[in-house]
Amino acid sequence: MTITAQNHGYAVDADALDSSAFVSHINLNDQTVEGIAMRTEPVMTIQYHSEACPGPLDNTGIFDDFTGMLTGEGVQ
Closest by CA to 48, choosing from 76, 10, 19, 20, is 10
* 58 within domain boundaries: yes
* 35 within domain boundaries: yes
- The domain in which residue 19 lies consists of 14-71
pTM of the shown model: 0.72
* 43 within domain boundaries: yes
* 1 within domain boundaries: no
Whether 10 has a pLDDT exceeding 80, the answer reads no
* 53 within domain boundaries: yes
Residues 6+ apart with CB under 8 A from 32: 6, 11, 12, 26
Whether 1 has a pLDDT exceeding 60, the answer reads no
* 67 within domain boundaries: yes
- The tens digit of pLDDT for each residue in 17-51 reads 999 999 998 888 888 898 999 998 888 888 877 76
Residue % of the chain over a pLDDT of 90: 20
Closest by CA to 46, choosing from 60, 32, 57, 35, is 35
* 56 within domain boundaries: yes
* 5 within domain boundaries: no
